[in-house]
Structure 1
Amino acid sequence: MRVSVPHIPQASLLAKPTGTNYTRVEAVEKLCRFIRGGRTTVLTGAGVSVDSGIRAYRGPDGRYMNPNYKPIFYHELVDESDKGHHFRLRSYLGYPPVRDAQPNTTHFALASLLHNGDIAGIITQNVDGLHQKSLRQGAKQSWPDSRLKESILELHGTLHRVHCARGHVVDRGVFQDMLSQTNPRWFEFAQELERRNSQPRTNPDGDIAIEHLGISYQDFIVPTCPTCISEGHHNSIHKPEVVFFGESIKNEVKERSYQDIESTEQLLLIGTTVATYSAFRLVKHALELKKPVMILNTGPTRADILPNIKKVDMASGSVLVDVAKFVIGNAGVNDPILADMLSRGAVNPPSPDDDDRPPRAAG
């Protein structure tokens, strides 16, 4: 099976940089003016989670930080051979760092804008659940799951739920416990990595590279789905509710994403190179509908060569809290929930000198 890895076209990589000469004050002003200009939907990517310690796929030049990077493909993850067990082990070991990651200042800034009604909603390509976590931590009871689902669309799914090959859904924490109980040696190995603070680098999709550790994965056991057992079936094929490369987005999610673009007045892209077509087509759809589009991202994006797009070439963590404070105004001081959210957020980016590790290092 041949599945291509999303990339930024060469024309975009070689395009003349735009938005690179703004000062920080100018960038904040332009973003404030844009958000105040109309009902705004925000499209986010891996760049917004970098300050939470989750490394993005691409560097400031728009290219994969590991030129040999190859993500987990769907057909590999569900393979019933040893290869499938290998990738399911990688997912087991790679989930805890994502589970334990904390929302950063960008997440809380967007949460405050959403809570105050200054942005209409968020479409995120991220599967880490940090947008939802920021609202649960900051606004608590006022953001139940139903409201979160209405306001945040997870374009590529979530790592926090797992389903078996027959469609039975289980909470990821419960599934992790099932794997730990079935694989005590691997549980101890994961605990030892945590004790030594030597967790291998984590990808935004919860994958890690383990080949360099020189360990065998053939004894890793995936437990049978308990619901399948109760129905008289034996099924040990599980996968996170993530749209892996080579897998299609559900029709209802695709339709909802188009509806979100059609119902908004403008689109703001944050921390994304828009390399995946599922996101790029939303940008094109917004432009076709004559809606203003602005990008806040470090480095080139796939959308840079499209006409009528404004761009601020900066990391969101450096400007977005100030943007939220200016847009929200006095409520950001007088409302205790907003004041709390605007003062919170992790700033814990991966070390810039953390070299890639072969053969499938994160990037």
Structure 2
Amino acid sequence: MRVSVPNIPASFLSRTTTPQVSVTEAVDKLSAFLSSGNVTLLTGAGVSVDSGIRAYRGQDGRYTNPNYKPILYHELTADTEKGRAFRQRYWLRSYLGYPSVRDALPNTTHCALSALQYSGIIPRLITQNVDGLHHKALAMTPSSPVKVHQSILELHGTLHRVRCKHGHLVDRNAFQEWLSIANPQWKAFADEVERTGNQPRTNPDGDVAIEHLGISYETFVVPDCPSCLMENRTNNVHKPDLIFFGESITEHVRQRSYRDVETADRLLLMGTTLATYSAFRLLKHTLELQKPVLMVNIGPSRSDGLEKVEKLDIASRSIIRQVVRNVLGTRATEDPIIEKLLNSGISKPPSADDDDRYPRATG
């Protein structure tokens, strides 16, 4: 089986980058784009960078890790000895890396976007991210869990749930506990990491690079699914409830993503290169419907050169709070929920000299 890792075509990467706009110009253009409301927003990894979660690609549009070798869906789920080895590798790395994603906090962009969601300007948000940070930010409003779920579509799933091959779903924290019980030596290692704060380098998909430690994966135990055991069968084939390379999004998610675009008057793209086709086809569908599109993203993207897509080559953090104030006017100061959101959020991006010398393991 041959599976291609999504990427931006080389012809796009070689083009002259979009001229950068001033902060004032970018604020004015994005404010005007949002002012009439009913906007659907599509976000990517760039939105979560200020929460300390690394993006897949740098500002040049290329993968930050030149040795990028994700585990593919058919490799992780194969009921073979080789598949078992892939699962040991994946789950050890993910076991150590997940706490950083679990504990990550919404940044200023997440919180400002939640103000626009709460106020009805952006009633539908589609995210390619699997970190759950949009949910955390919107949970700061009086919105019910049901409304939060209805307002945000996780196009590629989430790291916060785990599903076995027979469909049994479990909360990720519970699964982490299963892994701790099955691997007391790694639980001790994880506890020492937490005590010292010497966290191994966490990748954007929630695992850590540990090859440089000379570690063997062969002794790591991936436990059987308790629900399967109750059904008198053994099964240790688990995957996070997200889409791996080589796996398709469900028909339900695909159709809902189309509806979210069709229901909107316009589409806003933020922090995404649109390298994955599941995201790019939403842009194509929007353009077929002849709806306005605006992108806010630094560096090359798959949409570059498309005449009907206006692009602001600027970091969202530098403009989004002022944009919300412009769009909402006096409500930005009179509504305590919105005022709180505009004063919330962290800004702790990875250091500019951060590199990625070790391969990632996830889709």
Shift of 1:38: 4.4
**2:131 counterpart of 1:132:** no
Q: Is the 8 A contact 1:127 1:204 kept in 2?
A: no
The alignment covers a number of residue pairs equal to: 358
Shift of 1:361: 8.6
Larger deviation, residues 199-208 vs 346-355? 199-208
**2:167 counterpart of 1:164:** no
Shift of 1:144: 2.2
- Aligned partner of residue 42 in structure 1, secondary structure: strand
- Equivalent in the alignment of 1:283: 283
Q: Is the 8 A contact 1:66 1:361 kept in 2?
A: no
Which ranges of structure 2 fall in alignment gaps of 5 or more residues?
none
Specify the code of the residue in structure 1 equivalent to 2:113: L
- Equivalent in the alignment of 1:152: 152
User: In structure 2, how many angstroms separate the alpha carbons of the residues matched to 1:262 and 1:70?
Assistant: 35
**2:66 counterpart of 1:61:** no
Q: Is the 8 A contact 2:71 2:86 kept in 1?
A: no
User: In structure 2, how many angstroms separate the alpha carbons of the residues matched to 1:191 and 1:135?
Assistant: 31
Larger deviation, residues 273-282 vs 219-228? 219-228
Choose which of 92, 95, 98 in structure 2 pairs with 1:89: 92
Larger deviation, residues 78-87 vs 316-325? 78-87
- Aligned partner of residue 62 in structure 1, secondary structure: coil
User: In structure 1, how many angstroms separate the alpha carbons of the residues matched to 2:154 and 2:201?
Assistant: 23
User: In structure 2, how many angstroms separate the alpha carbons of the residues matched to 1:172 and 1:72?
Assistant: 19
User: In structure 2, how many angstroms separate the alpha carbons of the residues matched to 1:307 and 1:59?
Assistant: 24
Which ranges of structure 1 fall in alignment gaps of 5 or more residues?
none
- Aligned partner of residue 81 in structure 1, secondary structure: helix
**2:109 counterpart of 1:100:** no
TM-score norm. by structure 1 comes to 0.95
Work out the percentage of aligned pairs sharing the same amino acid.
58
User: In structure 2, how many angstroms separate the alpha carbons of the residues matched to 1:276 and 1:201?
Assistant: 25
- Equivalent in the alignment of 1:40: 39
Larger deviation, residues 208-217 vs 118-127? 208-217
Q: Is the 8 A contact 1:52 1:349 kept in 2?
A: yes
- Aligned partner of residue 75 in structure 1, secondary structure: helix
Alignment of 1:308-327 (within 5 A): 308-327=308-327
CA-atom RMSD in angstroms: 1.5
TM-score norm. by structure 2 comes to 0.95
Q: Is the 8 A contact 1:212 1:357 kept in 2?
A: no
- Equivalent in the alignment of 2:193: 193
User: In structure 1, how many angstroms separate the alpha carbons of the residues matched to 2:359 and 2:158?
Assistant: 25
Q: Is the 8 A contact 1:77 1:88 kept in 2?
A: no
Alignment of 1:312-351 (within 5 A): 312-351=312-351
Larger deviation, residues 109-118 vs 206-215? 206-215
- Equivalent in the alignment of 1:247: 247
- Aligned partner of residue 349 in structure 1, secondary structure: coil
Cα deviation, 1:65-106, whole Å, max 9, x if unaligned, reads 122212232223224422221112112112111000000001
